Amino acid sequence: MPFIRTFSKVAKQALLSPGCGCQPITVAVRTISFSPRQVTSDASFHSVSFSETDHPKVLITGGLGQLGVGLATMLRKRFGNNNVILSDIRKPPSHVFHSGPFIYSDILDYKNLREIVVNNRITWLVHYSALLSAVGEANVALARDVNITGLHNVLDIAAEHGLRLFVPSTIGAFGPTSPRNPTPDLCVQRPRTIYGVSKVHAELMGEYYHHRYGLDFRCLRYPGIISADSQPGGGTTDYAVAIFHDAVKTGKFECNLKPDTRLPMMYIDDCLRATVEMMEAPADTLSMRTYNINAMSFSPEELAQEVQKQLPDLEVTYDIDQVRQAIADSWPMNFDDSNARNDWGWKHDYDLPELVQTMLNYIGSDSRIAKAN
């Protein structure tokens, strides 16, 4: 049965745009219909080289967040600079703007997003636009618009144009009734944050579109992601990034989670590589469309002890944020990612000692450069 998105040609929708101070924007939409397409199994990019004609044309939404710039850099090295377009509603810093194609794209503006896909002959869409857990709880209405309405626009456009679509999910897609140690791919979820609810919605809608319309939907449940070149962005696991910046700059760190709060974590290089490997995996190797991935699991106390091996004078105190603590207490303590490892060969490179050393080397060198200037 063909997928049909139907509106009057003159119908208009008033949507909230997070990039415009939440002012209404007007979006004209038209009737769209297409026949379902079968998911191809011949896109076997994994561990092979590409000719120019084989290169996917990639669009990354929400590209100025924690992961977008790094993923764009990785994909541009693999597919060519002009084959990866970064997009966001914010003005990019100079080094990002000059590093490769960048365009303005508001995922709530369906017509604009569709034009970008058509005009640039996009074949892969990586959908990173989202409000994270703690920020989402502070503005549920905006999180609902961005995380759910925006997703619907992306799904419809991807299905209409036969795109390969990647939408990340999260440890936040689970809830207090989920098995926590370990958490398997398939189990009770029932999250209690708008962020988690929207991610479960994304997983299920993506799988529905795959089975109903043949959409090549792919999804990874990310653990907490730790990176040195981005600041904490409103997530519950942000303490695991902030500790490194504070340790280098001030020698003191105040953690907003209890010292024994164990959560799954991953260094950003592993996360980005997993994303690329998942996107390149032949369709016939995928036994499911949403996978857990994991690298390590630790508590704030264990992370602090590992950092103190390198910086023994670091002082750590705790001032518990009850909202973030409640969120963390409902999340997995450890991810079971055996299906990803068995199906498409996922394997992480960074454990806790390597993570700490890499972060301190990176942030420490940046701090020394800043002081010298």
Active site residues: 195
Which tokens go with 17? 């745009």
**Pick from 168, 180, 194, 188: which is nearest to 289 by CA?**
168
SS (H, E, C) 112-143: HHHHHHHHCCCCEEEECCCCCHHHHHHCHHHH
Question: 178-189: buried (b, 16+ CB within 10 Å) or exposed (e) per residue?
Answer: bebebbebeeeb
Residue 273, Cβ density class (10 Å: 0-12 exposed, 13-18 middle, ≥19 buried):
middle
Which residues are within 8 A (CB) of 215 and not within 5 positions of it... i.e. 6 or more apart?
Answer: 39, 155, 158, 159, 163, 165, 206, 209
Residues 6+ away with beta carbon under 8 Å from 1: 36, 212
d(Cα 76, Cα 79) in Å, to the nearest integer? 5
| Beta-sheet pairing, 12-16 with 24-28 | antiparallel
Residues in Cβ contact with 9 at an 8 Å cutoff, skipping those fewer than 6 apart: 30, 31
> Cβ–Cβ contacts within 10 Å for residue 314, how many?
19
- C-alpha angle 84-215-16 in degrees, rounded to nearest 5: 65
- For 121: left if phi > 0, alpha if psi spans -120 to 50, otherwise beta; the answer is left
How would you classify the pairing of strands 32-34 and 3-5?
antiparallel
Tell me the three state secondary structure of residue 65: coil
